Structure 1
């Protein structure tokens, strides 16, 4: 947790070329350390470190198990690609990489901390850091979007603080694992309805589920934010919300079961996410709304009360980090070359920027679940979490929506480029994009082995079923092309829907309404 922050501070003070080299060497060694701890947890089980040697449950604790250390390893490795991508960018200066490294340390704290108040502190500080990174180019729209993000999330984390205070009053504890054990001693589950509702408002806001997602397109898709900031927010940082959702629900699990409620919240989130994406023409906003949609799919998998669907959702966290980071990074290169983010004005990527087009294509195949690509494995696992035809239909609707959106996005790859002259080339950024894009393929080919390696969970893909899903994928592509040419391309209602968004007051009102719905629902089922 401290190492990235200290490294960022050192490189900020050095302010020379050696500082960048030091930064890269550190990140590689840091990823190696994360891998070492990951293997230790894999071989010996969870690691608990109690600060000051105090009694477990009362001490400030760091806790590494198979999920938390996987999140740590994923973040450390992806940061290497992000740093390589940004090497020659104008914004890659001491102030930027200090904040960028601080954000990594804060994410590590969110993944490893077992103390609720520490989690609150990490969320608050990371909100400030993310806001500054969004506004770092000091453009008017970026400052507006960054301030919306800041105030919405500060108010959102206040719900968490109140919930933590109520839990502390009830149990006299702040450690997640200790509170989980104490839950079974409650006389009535109703004693924790209010703190659960408050904490879930914060987690739902951070995860960007319906109706609390309006801040995300502003933060992730703001025009002047550096591409690497959008990539780390959509690829990694938003997963901290999903991770906290898993942890907090485990904590309340002895007395509260909300998987049905959050399954439907996940579906609505995914549905609204791809509908909003279909109505966009800015490539960053298309990708931002699809982060909302994919998070909804992950929430569905986590809440299907099925082991294979749960691990499929966790694996989709990893897969989404790969292909969405790739798409945001390539989008940055496309905008720099074409001077526009309008998907209808960008054509001929394969002819003008072939390697960027290849990386983009691999990422598109990953997110749409093409056979042999990573999305197909995680979606296969989620789909096998149910035998209910209704749930299967819902998953297919989401897959169709994703396919339609990326048929639209893929139109950039073909046609005649409106740009003339030499192509701007950044070897480091291009290398990072291609490596990330190719990873979408290899993490699909070796998906079975990776789920076993990462989570100690064996999944066996049935060849006949996989072929059948491949045929369904082809039909989805055909339907996506038909919908694009018949409806989406001509705008109309979908475009008007895509331009709907909540104001600041609307977002705050939706938070209050969401809290009320949670509490009322819990009161009815308990």
Structure 2
């Protein structure tokens, strides 16, 4: 049954492409609704009966090519299916929603599902490589010069990253004769010398770190996610969903090596500096899409921090934040597409009066901004509360507050678009479906905050008890941070050109390759010294 998650989107996408008439679009919508229902069914099956394993042929588990659904992977699958439905609703009446687009778009869904469900290193490599090709084509779909350049940079950087995955998998196969993640996890304690895993671990971590876009490997992300001519729904699926496959593989690979290697202190600091640098680069952007792309870097950094704090509540808070980020960042990218269509511009400094000009879009943005900044009662506040509750250490708490302060400060800048005068005497309402998609996702951001404890218990599998007094204190801290951010932005940053100059800096392809090599060496040295 799990094979349906991978095969069905590819098959339906192909059929829709071949039909190329009025039947294709209804077919895509009917499929996605059915796909959501199937995902719900499989989620409930895993929740009630435990993990599902699908092995090819008659081979035994651990040897066969397998798809494996446990509470984490099936949650990621369910999240993807639901948000993909919102993407299709948004794009339904757009000019780019044609046969070639929805063929590639639906195929990408199947490949993302494959990355979430695959339990085999070689399968993961194949899904990663094919999805890289599909994403590259989607980035370049409008065939503009800048889009082609961005797409090719994305392609070559990720192919290079995948080569680390392939070599790491080959070394593991040479050692164990196995490629299944669960079987390798069980075999690692049998090693006489755990240091034999240093080199393959470093290779796999370079691959997933590149795919996750942590510091210093994030330079490709703004080019891909912020490509000017790419449809907004492409940017949304890349920042909202596709990058989560890298985070997911980061979790799985670390779980696989857990009996021999623990790199939590290293990746905690990688996550922290990723988050801070993402904020700094976001503050240096005028383009909405580039701002949101660098904001994704920052939020991924926070997720990595939570995953590496060493406590259950912080770990599950990071998992919750994966969902939250997928929701509000997708909403913001889709909203950015509507703004560009109305204003004919993506410059944050020039766009004003959204509350008067586009009230429904402004509502979706407000809900999403309150979510991403961790405002009380919104989903971001719950996941950040969980991450913060994972430590009693004053200094770690301070670092988490610095990250959130940076997020609030950057979105104070972003939110300046809401205020000001109407630019036109009349406002042409965007396509109803597009508005329904962005407003609905914004409302879900609020609802999954109001019912955050229930959501965590049912969907993530962590029983959360919120300390009312502690949550109230964090709400007061949020208000103080917000007031401080407004003061700093208006008093210091609004007219400061220094951050704008920093925001224009980027690495060449050769620079990216050099940084990737340096990151690989850094992981190796850390392991050699501390393992």
TM-score bin, normalised by smaller chain:
over 0.9
Contact 2:264 2:310 in 1 (8 A): yes
Distance in 2 (CA, whole Å) between partners of 1:50 and 1:356 is: 46
- Please point out which of 496, 506, 512 is paired with 1:507: 512
2:283 aligned residue: 278
2:518 counterpart of 1:525: no
1:460 aligned residue: 465
User: What stretches of structure 1 move > 6 A for 4+ residues in a row?
Assistant: none
1:233 aligned residue: 238
Q: Offset at 1:446?
A: 0.6
Give CA-to-partner distance per residue, 1:386-436, whole Å, 9 cap, x none: 001111000000111000111111111111133344425211111100001
- Please point out which of 414, 423, 440 is paired with 2:419: 414
Distance in 2 (CA, whole Å) between partners of 1:418 and 1:337 is: 10
- Please point out which of 289, 297, 300 is paired with 1:295: 300
1:207 aligned residue: 212
Q: Offset at 1:16?
A: 1.4
Contact 2:188 2:260 in 1 (8 A): yes
Q: How many residues align?
A: 526
Give CA-to-partner distance per residue, 1:27-86, whole Å, 9 cap, x none: 011011011000100011111111102111111111000000000000011111000000
Give CA-to-partner distance per residue, 1:87-127, whole Å, 9 cap, x none: 11111000000000000000010011101000000000000
2:436 counterpart of 1:402: no
2:68 aligned residue: 63
2:154 aligned residue: 149
- Please point out which of 383, 386, 390 is paired with 2:391: 386
Contact 1:131 1:149 in 2 (8 A): yes
Distance in 2 (CA, whole Å) between partners of 1:160 and 1:425 is: 43
Q: Secondary structure at the match of 2:60?
A: coil
- Please point out which of 368, 374, 377 is paired with 1:369: 374
Distance in 2 (CA, whole Å) between partners of 1:424 and 1:370 is: 29
Q: Secondary structure at the match of 2:53?
A: strand
Contact 1:279 1:491 in 2 (8 A): no
2:482 counterpart of 1:477: yes
Matches within 5 A, 1:83-122: 83-122=88-127
Distance in 1 (CA, whole Å) between partners of 2:496 and 2:143 is: 33
Matches within 5 A, 1:133-172: 133-172=138-177
TM-score (norm 2): 0.98
Greater shift in the superposed pair: 294-303 or 465-474: 465-474
Contact 1:346 1:417 in 2 (8 A): no
- Please point out which of 192, 196, 202 is paired with 1:191: 196
User: For the aligned residues, what is the CA RMSD?
Assistant: 0.8
Give CA-to-partner distance per residue, 1:270-305, whole Å, 9 cap, x none: 000001001111111110000000000000000000
2:334 aligned residue: 329
1:320 aligned residue: 325
Distance in 1 (CA, whole Å) between partners of 2:366 and 2:431 is: 19
For structure 2, the residue ranges without an aligned partner over 5 or more in a row are 1-5
Contact 1:49 1:63 in 2 (8 A): yes
Distance in 2 (CA, whole Å) between partners of 1:217 and 1:486 is: 28
2:162 counterpart of 1:131: no
Distance in 2 (CA, whole Å) between partners of 1:402 and 1:225 is: 25
1:253 aligned residue: 258
1:435 aligned residue: 440
2:36 counterpart of 1:36: no
2:56 counterpart of 1:51: yes
Q: Secondary structure at the match of 1:52?
A: coil
1:80 aligned residue: 85
Distance in 1 (CA, whole Å) between partners of 2:481 and 2:163 is: 43
Give CA-to-partner distance per residue, 1:335-381, whole Å, 9 cap, x none: 11001100011011111110000000000000000000000000000
Contact 2:319 2:460 in 1 (8 A): no
Q: Secondary structure at the match of 2:54?
A: strand
Q: Offset at 1:192?
A: 1.1
Distance in 2 (CA, whole Å) between partners of 1:19 and 1:92 is: 11
Contact 2:357 2:423 in 1 (8 A): no
Distance in 2 (CA, whole Å) between partners of 1:138 and 1:419 is: 32
Give CA-to-partner distance per residue, 1:179-209, whole Å, 9 cap, x none: 0000001111111111100110000000000
Greater shift in the superposed pair: 504-513 or 487-496: 487-496
Q: Secondary structure at the match of 2:458?
A: helix
Greater shift in the superposed pair: 48-57 or 271-280: 48-57
Contact 2:357 2:427 in 1 (8 A): no
Distance in 1 (CA, whole Å) between partners of 2:265 and 2:345 is: 42
- Please point out which of 9, 14, 23 is paired with 1:4: 9
1:308 aligned residue: 313
Q: Secondary structure at the match of 2:68?
A: strand
Contact 1:84 1:429 in 2 (8 A): yes
Q: Offset at 1:148?
A: 0.3
2:431 aligned residue: 426
